[in-house]
Amino acid sequence: MAILVTGAAGFIGGNFALDWLAQSDETVINLDKLTYAGNLDTLKSLQNDARHVFIKGDIGDSILVAKLLEEYRPRAVVNFAAESHVDRSIVGPSDFIQTNIVGTFNLLESVRGYWISLSDEDKADFRFLHVSTDEVYGTLAAGDQPFSETNTYQPNSPYSASKAASDHLVRAWHHTYGLPVLTTNCSNNYGPYHFPEKLIPLVILNAIAGKPLPIYGDGQQIRDWLYVKDHCSAIRRVLAVGVVGETYNVGGWNEKTNLEVVQTICQLLDELRPKQKGRYAEQITFVQDRLGHDRRYAIDARKLERELGWKPTETFESGIRKTVEWYLSHSEWISNVTSGAYRSWLSQQYGE
């Protein structure tokens, strides 16, 4: 038995592959393009594990995907592959359109061709799980109810628009062709192996390097924070017992402003790696807000708890402590991932 996991050298996909193989002998076929955020160092512990098969490639390569499906005969496809950084989508939206929309279309067509070829029994058991984001729903005001699965899509960035389009394609391939799909829309993830352009790892690494801690605008943007391993357990649950054609929102029930998140990290670093002089919060710097910055995201994850019995195990306090401790103890992974190209991006984005 095997599952095909796309984007499994990235942050969430990499954690998913590690967690899956920690509790299952079912082979993971890992298809990843290895763009800037893909990192095989994340999967170093699986290097000699026959249950993990890595193939460098693009979900948009129909010939390659068809070949993998025919060779390994997976019972499921879990699609993490995506361009996912809002800031990068504003600077260069083309890659997001190509991977998140065109790539998803090509992947769906390859999977549909494979699914049609299966026996009736295998066809009934097969699943295509598409991993998406809460950003497709747009933004919330302070008093609005959190996003539920019935919220209207109102994406506001090139990234979220491209993910919304991919969600619509997945839905259409189910309703038109009968492809047995599942969709999850998650809130902001954090945890081990997070590429350090995102807020939490960026702040941790800048803090211990003595650099400014950049916060967009007034820092009052609110996000619902989900520990990545909780997200992985939710995906496993949806894949196991989710109802075909349904969407499930995955959240951590942890709404925090960006400023609160940064201050919490600073307090933990003051405890775990105190400076010789002063406190880390003194490095906080407010920078010009990004274009079209959504004010608030929040996920209502009650459907997932009510229907499938899942809820997160980590509070923000426990998860963020584990995250800070992980970054403090994994300097080799950090130095390998922060290449010259990444440092140039930081300079461009934050005027470093």
- CB neighbourhood size of 19 (10 A): 17
What is the spatial distance between Cα 262 and Cα 232, in angstroms, rounded to a whole number? 24
Q: Which residues are catalytic?
A: 134-135, 159
Taking a C-beta distance cutoff of 8 angstroms, is the pair 230, 190 a contact?
no
Alpha helices in the chain (DSSP H): 11-23, 62-72, 86-91, 94-96, 104-116, 120-125, 158-177, 199-208, 228-241, 258-272, 302-308, 316-328, 331-337, 340-350
* Contacts of residue 200, Cβ cutoff 8 Å, sequence gap at least 6: 190, 194, 261, 265, 320, 323
Q: Are 294 and 86 in contact (CB under 8 A)?
A: no
Give the amino acid at 224: D
SS3 of 222, please?
A: strand
Tell me if residue 160 falls in helix, strand or coil: helix
Alpha carbon separation from 188 to 34, 211, 244, 284, 333 (Å, rounded): 22, 24, 25, 21, 22
